[in-house]
Amino acid sequence: MIYFDNSATTKPYKEVLDTFIKVNESFYANPSSIHSFGGQVEKLVQQSRQQVASLLKIKPKEVYFTSGGTESNNIAIKGAAMQYGHRGKHIITTKVEHPSVINTCKQLESLGYSVTYLDVDSSGRVQPCDVKGAIQKDTILVSVMHVNNEIGTIQPIEEIGSILNQYPKILFHVDAVQACGKVPMALSNDHIDLCSISAHKIHGIKGTGILFVRDGLELSPLFTGGEQEGNLRSGTENTGGIVSFAKALRIHSEESLHQLSALKEIQQFLREELMKIENVTVHTPFDHSAPHIVNFSIEQFKAEVLIHALDRHHVYVSTTSACSSKQSKPSRTLLSMGVSEKIANSSIRISLSFQNTMNEAEEFIDLLKKEIIQLQKTMRRSR
């Protein structure tokens, strides 16, 4: 099997699975219970919070555990909009955000907020000057993803943060779900107020994530109840998920230190080999791109046809983001970049992890070439 769909989800580390099982078997008490067993579990949660904070170089009280990237994005955007709506009701984002950001903003529009959706250039990158130009007197939030989940473009987060530092009443939210462990991120130095990370993108367990909330910032909670997570995210804590998240982040951070260069080599090989194939367009930019994503189109075929052909060889790739892949719509990101609808309908995403090898990349290219030839023969016979 060749698994090249890691931007959709990653295979959990064995150590993470072992931790998840052990915690749920041996430390199953409710962390809010006042007996000693509950106290032991609460201590595990706080130790995990401290470990995550240490790895991300932030304060423990700035770490809020959630169910994943979608919830973190919703809490950040809706929580900020509801808490600071008295300041204004204008939000700035881009046209290439994850659905959990785009659809959250659309929902807020139905509640009386106004949203500016910024264009991107042909590489999928928003211009910092466009962010500055979109700021209004009533702007309260800017939300921009760090790494695009479809084509891998790295957004100019540091430059945008520097601009927004001049506007202390405008909050800056960054969706770093695809960036964590692959692209350097300095939460304390890039003037970021809110940041979303998901466990299952870094070989953790599905259903766990974090939201970084800068110290001193208040958000309106989406869930009210038992006042867990500083009253921002009520509900009994997923202790196994939280502890295993900290484990996954630690292992993934260590792998990033030692294997990032190998990941870049595999990406470069795939990009170069794809560009040699006739009628192939590589959409992932050479500059400003994350090392684990390669997005390309083959003009003659719809993406689903080629994906099913590769599936027969147990080779797994994807089309757009996993959250949108079953909608049979062309990539919103590629259309925003000026790619034609026909080419956008043919786009395929390869997404790598530190577990993938150059041998897998070579085998993938060979299989792809063979399947293209076979599909071309089938097309000619059907005419």
Residues acting as catalytic residues:
323
Residue 150 and residue 321 in contact, taking contact as beta carbons nearer than 8 Å? yes
The DSSP secondary structure of 23-78, one letter per residue, reads HHHH--S-TT--SHHHHHHHHHHHHHHHHHHHHHTS-GGGEEEESSHHHHHHHHHH
Supply φ then ψ for residue 199, to 5 degrees: -70, -40
Q: How far is CA 157 from the centre of its chain?
A: 14
Residue 239 and residue 45 in contact, taking contact as beta carbons nearer than 8 Å? yes
**Alpha carbons 203 and 337: distance in angstroms, whole number:** 30
Output the six-digit token pair for 113: 């907020």
**Alpha carbons 91 and 260: distance in angstroms, whole number:** 35
**Alpha carbons 193 and 216: distance in angstroms, whole number:** 10
- Helix, strand or coil for residue 190? coil
Supply angle C-alpha 220, 180, 359, rounded to 5. 150
Q: How far is CA 290 from the centre of its chain?
A: 12
Strand segments, DSSP code E, in 58-198 are 63-66, 90-94, 114-118, 139-145, 171-175, 194-198
| CB burial readout 303-313, b (16+ within 10 A) else e | bebbbebbeee
